[in-house]
């Protein structure tokens, strides 16, 4: 009886051992099968995923294309930019390090605050620019004191430079950092030190001047820190843009204007090329590249002489006596006078209860069209305007291209204004008066 009980117990144990062994064998088989699937069947897929985690592709900004005048004289170039960067994980006490750096170079408080903000957004090993465009003297001071500046390093890049500064500011424009609204999905625009054209030729031809970015394939660890560079493919520099300006004529035009608030344009009469386009006062485009201080920006926008306005293409002013040419052409075209028909100028013209004076109060006497143009006789052109009416004067203005933009390849061009009966009614809701026709002449 005891023996039977032992045999029964042995059978139960054997069955359990077999079940447990079978379960273990099944688990090992499933594990081996899964390992085979991952390491053999899916090997290529996971190899790619591992490389994606291990290898990063980084963009290399291309050199911006140069801008030259019609004779190849460089107007906008790239210069070496020595900048000082700080790495948080190496700096230790960042505020103390920045304070020591500020004793060696000019480091405004606003720049210190910017660096601290960027450090909160970026990883500890990412270099952050503390200041750009260092002079040789500043670079030397930083390098000599390097042992006392943990985490501080000097890097060399390229920056835009305008050797003629204010002389070409309104033509060339300037480059500056990319704003949030200008991010279009192009990863090149997201690089922290990348600059784009904001005005002038720099903006109009920005797509050509930018060039094509290069790439650097780097190996990184699990934290994203660069271990080594695996390969590098240099990008394509931006295109060299040649404009029609003659730098010597441009300089001459600016010198002639001097300190006046004015503009001047010199054209090649044979083909219409713009040889000089001057507008004063100007501004220093290099300041926009390095970044304006709030005080500098306020001084520019509050200046009543409008240094940021390109007066040659965006200034809107009454044409004065130059408009007499339009009235003369309209009068000849309409047949209301001939070149030799004379008009008497007593120094004024009466219209109802109003008197419209000539600039020469004692009058010019009898004037034909040639003499009236030569003397800029107001009374003669009052008479022509009265004979024509404002709408025929406006029609000739439109035929001559006034009141329209030229399609100039600089941003910010504004059209002029051609008044007429319809314009005044639509704009002001008022009727046109004959006296307004006279002063249009």
Q: Do residues 156 and 81 lie in contact, with contact meaning Cβ atoms separated by under 8 Å?
A: yes
Supply 230's token pair.
């695996």
- Please calculate the CA angle 15-21-22 and round it to the nearest 5 degrees: 90
Q: What is the distance between the alpha carbons of residues 92 and 183, in angstroms, rounded to a whole number?
A: 34
Which residue in 258, 437, 243 sits closest to 330, CA to CA?
437
Tell me the backbone φ, ψ of residue 243, rounded to 5 degrees: -105, 165
Strands 67-68 and 174-177: unpaired
User: For residue 59, what are the β-bridge partners?
Assistant: 215
Cβ burial, residue 22 (10 Å; 0-12/13-18/19+) = exposed
How far are the Cα atoms of 133, 168, 169 from residue 164, in angstroms, in the given order?
A: 18, 6, 8
The 3-state DSSP class for residue 233 equals: strand
Q: What is the distance between the alpha carbons of residues 424 and 391, in angstroms, rounded to a whole number?
A: 12
Which residue in 307, 65, 285 sits closest to 169, CA to CA?
285
Q: Is the peptide bond before 281 cis (omega within 30 degrees of 0)?
A: yes
Which long-range contacts does 356-363 make (Cβ < 8 Å, 24+ apart)? 356/382, 356/435, 356/438, 356/439
Catalytic residues: 321
Q: Do residues 330 and 430 lie in contact, with contact meaning Cβ atoms separated by under 8 Å?
A: no
- Strands of 183-272, DSSP E: 195-199, 214-220, 226-233, 241-242, 262-267
The 3-state DSSP class for residue 178 equals: coil
Cα dihedral across residues 278, 281, 287, 288: positive or negative:
negative
């Amino acid at each position: 009886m005891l023996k039977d009980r032992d045999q029964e117990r042995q059978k139960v144990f054997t069955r359990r051992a077999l079940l447990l062994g079978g379960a273990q064998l099944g688990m090992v088989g499933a594990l081996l099968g899964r390992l085979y699937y991952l390491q053999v069947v899916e090997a290529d897929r996971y190899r790619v995923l591992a490389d994606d985690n291990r290898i990063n592709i980084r963009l290399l900004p291309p050199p911006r294309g140069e801008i030259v005048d019609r004779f190849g004289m460089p107007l906008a170039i790239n210069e070496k930019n020595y900048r000082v960067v700080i790495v948080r994980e190496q700096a230790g006490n960042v505020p103390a390090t920045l304070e020591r750096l500020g004793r060696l170079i000019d480091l405004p408080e606003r720049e210190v605050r910017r660096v601290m903000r960027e450090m909160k957004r970026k990883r500890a090993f990412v270099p952050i620019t503390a200041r750009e465009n260092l002079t040789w003297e500043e670079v030397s001071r930083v390098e000599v004191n390097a042992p006392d500046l943990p985490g501080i390093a000097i890097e060399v890049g390229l920056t835009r430079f305008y050797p003629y500064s204010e002389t070409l500011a309104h033509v060339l424009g300037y480059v500056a950092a990319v704003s949030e609204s200008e991010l279009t999905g192009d990863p090149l625009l997201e690089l922290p030190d990348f600059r784009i054209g904001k005005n002038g030729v720099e903006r109009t031809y920005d797509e050509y001047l930018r060039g094509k970015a290069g790439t650097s394939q780097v190996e990184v660890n699990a934290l994203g820190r660069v271990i080594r560079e695996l390969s590098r493919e240099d990008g394509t520099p931006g295109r060299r843009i040649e404009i029609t300006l003659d730098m010597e004529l441009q300089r001459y035009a600016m010198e002639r204007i001097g300190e006046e608030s004015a503009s001047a344009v010199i054209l090649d009469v044979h083909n219409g090329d713009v040889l000089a386009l001057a507008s004063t006062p100007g501004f220093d485009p290099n300041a926009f590249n390095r970044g304006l201080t709030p005080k500098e920006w306020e001084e520019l926008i509050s200046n009543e002489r409008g240094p940021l306005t390109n007066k040659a293409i965006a200034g809107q002013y009454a044409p004065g006596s130059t408009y007499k040419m339009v009235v003369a052409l309209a009068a000849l075209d309409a047949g209301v006078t001939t070149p030799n028909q004379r008009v008497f100028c007593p120094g004024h013209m009466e219209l109802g209860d109003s008197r419209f004076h000539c600039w020469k109060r004692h009058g010019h006497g009898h004037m034909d069209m040639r003499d009236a143009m030569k003397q800029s006789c107001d009374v003669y052109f009052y008479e022509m305007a009265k004979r024509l009416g404002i709408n025929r004067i406006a029609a000739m203005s439109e035929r001559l291209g006034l009141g329209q933009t030229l399609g100039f390849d600089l941003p910010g061009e504004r059209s002029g204004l051609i008044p007429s009966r319809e314009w005044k009614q639509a704009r002001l809701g008022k009727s046109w008066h004959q006296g307004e026709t006279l002063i249009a002449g």
